[in-house]
Amino acid sequence: MVTVPYKLMIVDDEYEIRQGLRSFDYSAFGIEVSEDCENGLFALKALESEPVDIVVTDIRMPLMDGLALAEKLSSRYPHTKIIILSGYDDFEYAKTCMKHGALDYLLKPLDFEEYERILTKAIRLIDLEKEQNARSAALERKAKLSAHHLRKKFLRDIVQSAMTDDAIELESASAEVMLEENGEYVVVLLRSTVYPEKPKGVGDKEWNLIVFTLDNLLQDLWDEQGMGYHYVETDGECSLILTQTEGLAALREGKDGLTERLDSLLNGLKRFRGLFRTHFSYVIGPIVSKPGNIRRSYRAAQGLFHARIDRPDEAAEYLQPDGERPPGKEIEQANGKRLVQEAKHFIENNYDRTITLDDVAKHVHLNASYLSFLFKELTGQKYIDYLTLYRIEKAKEFLMQTNHKVHEIGEMVGYENPRYFTLVFKKYTQQSPNEYRNGLFHANAKDG
């Protein structure tokens, strides 16, 4: 008898299909149906608070279809088993879903004997994975969740708060955000025309869904297009941090390349007018240098939205680092070296997941700012540089010795975001991962 039920979610825009699937006797399989959703977007929102083991999803649905949902699930919840519901006309579409990690597919109308077979197959795989990877899977899920929250917190802080250079360096690495120390940046503020009020007739639950949708759309329309990064506030204000060199150059020269991109982004949002029930507008802040000044561009853009020129103070305000200062007395060398060595061992044993300076400090029972000082004092190298270089060396080994894809190797060395992994690798090696691997291949071929 199964004591711990497996969680299953049903995703289909047809009420009758959802009810039909719910009527199946799941108790014999130890399965509990957690929730049914009308489309992929609602499903993603529900999964944030309650992950499941199995998702049964239709292909054709509004807002987000089954293929898009399968892509998102394979990236965010790699251990979740996906079962596709497909009509005969969708057969090729169903095969595409299989390429994105779907376990199997069912043709409509449903054959419940076939459904039993596929559920049995899913449970067998889940049990096998749990037995083989219980500890590592838990760490991976925790790391992905941690990286997601760290990224949101860092992007909020970089646009709204004063941060020291050291804090930016450490937190941006943990958040997988690439900001060059001497780079230039612009904040574009995006707001609905009714900001800061909610659109008329929109309740709290629907508003949360709107903010969630905005976050996901901007990830696709801004971040994944290589424009930079974004942060969505709970009141719906969207901060777009422009890091793309071409966009900054166009802005400086008065060209309309950036405005064309932003207008295209607004057109992308218009597809969801039924959900948003409002128009959006944007303002572009001034170009600033260095990550610590990004908030100046943000504040100036806020002023433009209030139809006045807001000139931030010329002198940047910097927070003092929190925590204890290094003791005035001489550092006891032997003990300090032992602690740094322990910190290195922790990094070497946990580099494949999201780890922060706080994590390492807790392991060696030190204050984070003191460990940072101690690391630099005794090794001549910053903590974050040691962690990053160790990961890059491991990535080189995997590129040389395995056939894993680049994004898989990125995850194996602790980077959830494939684009960020490529940027970091190129920064430290002057080559992309693929260029590095191809160089090894050609060198070996020449030697052979």
Q: Is residue 1 part of a domain?
A: no
| pLDDT for res 389 | 94
Return the higher-pLDDT residue of 306 and 67: 67
Q: Please count the structural domains in the chain.
A: 3
| pLDDT for res 95 | 67
| pLDDT for res 325 | 32
Give the range of the structural domain holding residue 257, as residue numbers without chain letter: 161-305
Average pLDDT (149-168) is: 89
Return the higher-pLDDT residue of 432 and 279: 432
**How many whole angstroms separate alpha carbon 10 and alpha carbon 232?**
29
Quick one: 186 and 113 in the same domain?
Answer: no
| pLDDT for res 319 | 21
Closest CA to 396 of 371, 370, 366, 421: 421
Closest CA to 278 of 190, 192, 216, 209: 192
Query: CATH number of the domain that 409 lies in?
Result: 1.10.10.60
**How many whole angstroms separate alpha carbon 329 and alpha carbon 353?**
36
Say if CB 408 and CB 434 are below 8 A apart. Answer: no
* 157 Cβ neighbours under 8 A, 6+ residues apart: 163, 171
Q: Is residue 426 part of a domain?
A: yes
Q: Is residue 65 part of a domain?
A: yes
* 378 Cβ neighbours under 8 A, 6+ residues apart: 331, 333, 336, 337, 340
For the stretch 265-287, pLDDT in tens is 888 887 776 677 778 888 888 88
Instruction: Please identify, among 138, 171, 204, the residue that sits at the C-terminal boundary of a domain.
Output: 138
Return the higher-pLDDT residue of 156 and 79: 156
| pLDDT for res 346 | 92
Query: CATH number of the domain that 173 lies in?
Result: 3.30.70.270
Quick one: 221 and 183 in the same domain?
Answer: yes
Flag whether pLDDT at 88 surpasses 70: no
Q: Pairing mode, if any, of strands 102-107 and 280-284?
A: unpaired
Instruction: Please identify, among 138, 173, 195, the residue that sits at the C-terminal boundary of a domain.
Output: 138
| pLDDT for res 445 | 52
Q: Is residue 147 part of a domain?
A: no
| pLDDT for res 69 | 87
Instruction: Please identify, among 305, 324, 358, the residue that sits at the C-terminal boundary of a domain.
Output: 305
Quick one: 111 and 209 in the same domain?
Answer: no
Quick one: 231 and 111 in the same domain?
Answer: no
**DSSP bridge partners of 188:** 240, 284
Quick one: 265 and 301 in the same domain?
Answer: yes
* 395 Cβ neighbours under 8 A, 6+ residues apart: 409, 410, 412, 413, 421, 425, 433
Q: How many CA atoms lie within 13 A of 164 on its CB side?
A: 8
**How many whole angstroms separate alpha carbon 22 and alpha carbon 36?**
9
320 — pLDDT class (breaks 50, 70, 90): very low
Q: Where are the alpha helices (DSSP H) in 161-272?
A: 165-175, 204-218, 245-252, 257-270
Q: What is the mean pLDDT of the chain?
A: 81
**Coil, strand or helix at 11:** strand
Flag whether pLDDT at 420 surpasses 50: yes
| pLDDT for res 72 | 86
Say if CB 9 and CB 52 are below 8 A apart. Answer: yes
| pLDDT for res 248 | 85
Q: Is residue 318 part of a domain?
A: no
| pLDDT for res 158 | 93
Q: Is residue 328 part of a domain?
A: no
129-152 burial by CB neighbour count: b if 16+ within 10 A, else e? eeeeeeeeeeebbebbebbbebbe
Q: What is the largest CA-CA distance in the chain?
A: 77
Least confident of 133-137, 379-383, 437-441: 133-137
Return the higher-pLDDT residue of 140 and 125: 125
Rg of the chain (C-alpha set) = 25
Least confident of 36-50, 55-69, 362-376: 362-376
Look up residue 233 and give its DSSP letter: -
CB atoms within 10 A of CB 175: 26
Flag whether pLDDT at 149 surpasses 90: no
Q: Most confidently modeled of 218-222, 259-263, 277-281? A: 218-222
Look up residue 27 and give its DSSP letter: G
Quick one: 10 and 118 in the same domain?
Answer: yes
Quick one: 366 and 301 in the same domain?
Answer: no
Return the higher-pLDDT residue of 416 and 311: 416
**DSSP bridge partners of 242:** 186, 228
Amino acid at 34: S
CA dihedral of residues 201, 205, 207, 210 (deg, nearest 10) = -120
| pLDDT for res 104 | 80
For the stretch 323-338, pLDDT in tens is 333 332 433 455 678 8
Q: Is residue 143 part of a domain?
A: no
Look up residue 55 and give its DSSP letter: E
Quick one: 165 and 284 in the same domain?
Answer: yes
| pLDDT for res 442 | 60
Quick one: 134 and 183 in the same domain?
Answer: no
Flag whether pLDDT at 18 surpasses 90: no
Average pLDDT (222-232) is: 91
**How many whole angstroms separate alpha carbon 148 and alpha carbon 146?**
5
94 — pLDDT class (breaks 50, 70, 90): low
pTM for the structure as a whole? 0.55
CB atoms within 10 A of CB 207: 15
**How many whole angstroms separate alpha carbon 70 and alpha carbon 59?**
9
Quick one: 130 and 167 in the same domain?
Answer: no
Which two three-digit tokens encode residue 396? Answer: 């080189």
Quick one: 347 and 394 in the same domain?
Answer: yes
Report the percent of the chain where pLDDT is more than 70.
Answer: 84
Q: Is residue 316 part of a domain?
A: no
| pLDDT for res 175 | 87
For the stretch 27-52, pLDDT in tens is 888 888 887 898 888 988 888 888 88
| pLDDT for res 444 | 59
Count helices and strands (H / E) in the chain. 18, 10
* 43 Cβ neighbours under 8 A, 6+ residues apart: 9, 11, 37, 55, 57, 64, 69
**How many whole angstroms separate alpha carbon 350 and alpha carbon 332?**
27
Query: CATH number of the domain that 87 lies in?
Result: 3.40.50.2300
Quick one: 291 and 338 in the same domain?
Answer: no
Q: Most confidently modeled of 145-154, 368-377, 390-399? A: 390-399
| pLDDT for res 34 | 85
